[in-house]
Amino acid sequence: MQNKPLDHLPPLQLLAAFEAAARHLSFTQAAQERFVTQSAMSRQIRVLEEALGVPLFERRHRALALTEDGQRLHAACATALNTLRVAVRTVREPHQRQVLALTTTPGFASLWLIPRLTAFTRAHPGIDVRLDAGLGNRNLASEGFDLAIRYSPVTAPQGQALFAEAMLPVCSPRLVGELGLPLRKPADLARHTLLHLAMDGDSAGMPAEWEPWLNAWGLADLRPAARLSFSSYSEAIAAAVAGQGVALGRRPLVDALLASGQLVTPFDAGIASARAYRLIVDPAARSRPAVKAFEQWLLKECGAAEAQPASPA
């Protein structure tokens, strides 16, 4: 049998399967992404290794690692597949509706972005928005996203700053009026339930999310009457609206709820956050009309949000 030329390409399906497995370092996760079984994914990788004549992965106990050849091939596959995705999308766009893929945090999505999206889709009826809300940072190029709005330290160099964040206690107006439980100064929080996002640094006393604010107001030793923790920030805010306790409001995410009166600030005691919201755009997607339109709209909306104050109770 005649040997194939050294530059003979394996089937694209095998290279795409390998790129997913190399990115996740997991055959199981790659199989889920590719909508095949784990055993089918393993077979595809084995066939590719046999075709190339080299191992691409080190099969360790409950773990995968790329060999040197695997690292080299993964870098090339990731670049080539992204180039192909952009080219295919460019070919399709003149004949189909444009799809804008955006990833951000659940809190930003539910409290700030989603209530405003109707204005964007009305102004751009030919653009469909695909929104992914999760806590993990997505790889824009390899996972097919055009933009990301990330919750990052204020000193983060990546992306364009949208707005800074201020933190202050918020609660339902019903809670402020409850007899026997005054809520007129920061120290009164000891009489109330604190609502917070569950974090790794939480202890039996001070919730880690509240720590910077309590420290700033000299309340490092404060122990609340009770605590309720949630897996997402939007859940904690929903509990505050329902009158279940006091949450640490992040402005401007809670500004609409403050403006509508669903939440109030029992005392004007805000502090600047160490984090901010930043826009990251995939360089390969920046020239797309849909991406340009969304970026311009988003910056305008963020400017309006910063300019509009929210009144305390």
Written as tens digits, the pLDDT of the chain (313 aa) is 446 676 788 999 999 999 999 999 999 999 998 999 999 999 999 999 999 999 999 998 888 999 999 999 999 999 999 888 888 877 776 656 788 999 999 999 999 999 999 999 999 988 999 999 988 888 898 888 999 999 988 888 888 889 888 999 999 998 887 666 888 899 999 999 999 988 765 555 567 889 999 999 999 999 999 999 998 899 999 999 999 999 999 999 999 999 999 999 998 888 999 989 999 999 989 888 999 999 999 999 988 765 444 443 4
- The string over 67-83, giving b where at least 16 C-beta atoms fall within 10 Å of a residue's C-beta and e elsewhere, is eeebeebbeebbeebbe
CATH number of 165-274: 3.40.190.10
Same CATH fold assignment for domains 97-162+275-307 and 165-274: yes
Domain ranges of the chain: 12-91, 97-162+275-307, 165-274
Q: How far apart are CA 174 and CA 139, in angstroms?
A: 43
Query: What's at 45, amino acid-wise?
Result: I
CATH of range 97-162+275-307; options 3.30.930.10, 3.40.190.10, 3.30.420.40, 3.40.50.1820: 3.40.190.10
The contacts of residue 19 (CB under 8 Å, 6+ apart) are 74, 77, 78, 81, 142
- The string over 277-302, giving b where at least 16 C-beta atoms fall within 10 Å of a residue's C-beta and e elsewhere, is bbbbbbebbeebebbebbbebbeebb
Looking at residue 179, its pLDDT comes to: 60
Looking at residue 206, its pLDDT comes to: 64
Looking at residue 310, its pLDDT comes to: 43
The contacts of residue 93 (CB under 8 Å, 6+ apart) are 288
For domain 12-91, the CATH class is mainly alpha
